[in-house]
Amino acid sequence: MGVRSVENLGFGGDMSGINLNGKCVWLTGASSGIGEALALELASRGAKLAITARRAEVLEQLVARIRAKGGEAWSFPGDVLNLDQMKQVVAAIELNIAPIDLAIPNAGTHLFTVPESFDCAEYLFVMQLNYGGMLHCIEAVLPGMLARKRGYLAPVASLAGYRGLPRAAAYGASKSAMIHFLESIRFHLKSKGVTISIVNPGFVRTPLTDKNDFHMPFIVDADQAARIICQGIERGKREIAFPFPFNWILKLARILPDAIYERIVDRLW
């Protein structure tokens, strides 16, 4: 039995998934890359889609594209760094569309960092955007979900959050923080009707990775990533980690002794 079939058996015991058709979905970081592809995929599966990012005009263009294909979408521009704005966005969505069934905090960024030119502002910025931005979205959306005893959160973290990697201290730490936080709150929320899928992509072809000057193993297109993420949510997967086999290689790397892990990464990077 291959590793892929072990995954397909739901070896980890999947949770109840969500049929996206007709559901009210709030997605951040929708103006580009994975978020843009996810918006198109969610809409094609019948979701009522509320999209957020800072560039309002880009969101409006995406809304027009989705509607032209018969989908339902509305734009709610905002900055995830601003908690009050996120609360206003959620209130506006729930007033004008419907209570949010699924929230996908996806907005984020990547910065290469090297400790030789250490500037803690860089590390704090990435932490504030990737981790803090997700926390702001959760603070905005969770009270309503708890009151309704129903909801689904699928924040986009990264396989880079598994272990330390060269030049990835700021990014990896922010994604590790997300994974740790989400695993922890799942213990509390599962008995309260709120389900969590942690989305951990490997390399995905987007404007963010277009800047990379190195070989990105097993890289996938954003529309493929969006399909995998939607399928994972519909199946209620605890973790939506991809692409195969990169996800399993990095899972194995988590249990390697430090010295062996360090030697392998030194060779490859």
Rounded to 10°, the helix 56-68/33-44 angle is 30
Among 75, 113, 197, 206, indicate the residue that binds ligand NAP (CB under 6 A).
206
Smaller CB separation from ligand NAP, 208 or 265: 208
Question: Binding to ligand NAP by residue 103, rule CB under 6 A?
Answer: no
> Is 261 among the catalytic positions?
no
Q: Which stretch binds ligand NAP (CB under 6 A): 94-102, 119-127, 198-206, 229-237?
A: 198-206
Question: Binding to ligand NAP by residue 29, rule CB under 6 A?
Answer: yes
For residue 210, the tally of other CB atoms under 10 A from its CB is 8
Q: Which residue among the candidates 131, 152, 171, 261 is catalytic per the annotation?
A: 171
Among 76, 152, 162, 203, indicate the residue that binds ligand NAP (CB under 6 A).
203
* 175, HSE (Cβ side, Cα atoms, 13 Å): 26
Question: Binding to ligand NAP by residue 151, rule CB under 6 A?
Answer: no
Question: Binding to ligand NAP by residue 35, rule CB under 6 A?
Answer: yes
Number of residues that bind ligand NAP (CB under 6 A): 31
Question: Binding to ligand NAP by residue 208, rule CB under 6 A?
Answer: yes
Q: Which stretch binds ligand NAP (CB under 6 A): 25-33, 67-75, 183-191, 235-243?
A: 25-33
Among 73, 204, 230, 250, indicate the residue that binds ligand NAP (CB under 6 A).
204
Closest alpha carbon to 40 in 57, 56, 15, 62:
62
The per-residue b/e assignment along 107-128, b for 16 or more CB within 10 angstroms, e otherwise, is: bbebeebeeeeeeeebbebbbe
Cβ–Cβ < 8 Å for 218, 266: no
Closest distance between ligand NAP and the C-beta of residue 62, in Å? 10
Closest distance between ligand NAP and the C-beta of residue 5, in Å? 25
Closest distance between ligand NAP and the C-beta of residue 175, in Å? 7
Q: Which two tokens stand for residue 94?
A: 């729930």
Q: Which stretch binds ligand NAP (CB under 6 A): 145-153, 190-198, 199-207, 247-255?
A: 199-207
For the segment 210-269, give every residue that binds ligand NAP (CB under 6 A): none
Bridge partners of 57?
A: none
x/- binding map, residues 55-84, to ligand NAP, per CB under 6 A?
A: x--x--------------------xxx---
- What span, in angstroms and rounded, lies between the C-alpha atoms of 66 and 6? 36
Kindly list the distances between the CA atom of residue 203 and the CA atoms of 58, 108, 200, 218, 262, in Å, as whole numbers in the listed order. Answer: 24, 14, 10, 7, 21
Cβ–Cβ < 8 Å for 141, 94: no
36: CB partners within 8 A, 6+ apart: 30, 62, 222
The catalytic residue positions are 171
